Amino acid sequence: MGSMSLPKALPTINFSLEDLEAWDLFQVPLENKVKNISEEPYRGYIGPNPLMPLYEGMAIDNVTCPQETQKFRDLMWPHGKSKFCEITDLFAKLLGDLEHTVERMLFESFQIPQEQYESLASSNTHLLRFLKYRAPEDSDTIVRFPGHTDRNLTTIVVQHDVGGLEVRIKDGDWISVESAPSQFLFMAGDGLQVWRNDRVKACHHPVKHCGDKTRYSLGMFTFNKWRIPKEAKKAESPIKAYCGVKN
């Protein structure tokens, strides 16, 4: 781990019109938003609904491929949007580099050979989701988004100005995550917990009510359809229930 180094430049996002334009993105007509679809569940547009009335999200799947960012921009802004692709592609690359670095450090800590990690990472895919949480009209509302774990491998969350994200730590206590453009939260998902046989726990996190402002954030979600390593195939391993591994 001592040989590892973080990316030289990490992104600072302020969600203004000069950056990723998250506020402006959610102002596009609904007929444009609903064109953000995917064959995979939960990877396209999700609007307010009875279960999540305060939430709205859009996503760019395979965001590390520049052509996917361009497709998304053309759906949202058919007449073009200056610098959106350039900034989004740069941001996705920087977050992808950060994800790669942290995962390598994690796998080294478990003494997993580097070539095995590189094999896993070579088939990673990344989804960038733009997230909006409206302020509740009812002041008694506590939760903007219910507590959950992410089903993917890992998640990086960036929030700005308005906080509200909480995570449950090992002893069961809850801590609030600071909201600052230079702060990044790296979380394990269900996929990583399964792959490491519960040695790494998926991070349980809700979004609580925090102030009367709309909350914008970004999430980079890493997915992988991996092959299970031999050392994980143990009779008592909980990975069996997820992946159908036979003795």
Q: What is the pLDDT of residues 92-109, one digit of tens each?
A: 888 898 899 888 888 888
**Section 128-152 average pLDDT:** 79
Q: What share of the chain is helix, strand, coil (3-state, %, to 5)?
A: 25, 20, 50
Superfamily of domain 22-243: B-lactam Antibiotic, Isopenicillin N Synthase; Chain (2.60.120.330)
**Section 132-151 average pLDDT:** 76
DSSP-derived 3-state class of residue 206: strand
Q: What is the pLDDT of residue 181?
A: 64
Give per-residue pLDDT as tens, 62-87: 999 999 999 999 999 998 887 888 88
Q: What is the pLDDT of residue 62?
A: 94
Q: What is the pLDDT of residue 56?
A: 93
The amino acid occupying position 129 is R
In whole angstroms, give the CA distance from residue 195 to residue 146. 25
Q: What confidence tier does 61 reach under pLDDT thresholds 50, 70, 90?
A: very high
17 pLDDT more than 60: no
**Section 141-170 average pLDDT:** 80
Angle at the Cα of 99 from the Cα atoms of 168 and 95, rounded to 5 degrees: 105
Task: Compute the residue count for the chain.
Answer: 247
Mean pLDDT of the chain: 78
DSSP sequence for 207-240: EE--SSSPEEEEEEEEE--PPPPGGG--TT-THH
Angle at the Cα of 220 from the Cα atoms of 224 and 187, rounded to 5 degrees: 80
| Residues in Cβ contact with 103 at an 8 Å cutoff, skipping those fewer than 6 apart | 117, 121, 154, 222
Give per-residue pLDDT as tens, 198-225: 888 888 887 776 667 788 888 999 998 7
pTM over 0.85: no
Comparison of pLDDT for 45 and 161, the residue scoring more: 45
Q: What is the pLDDT of residue 133?
A: 84
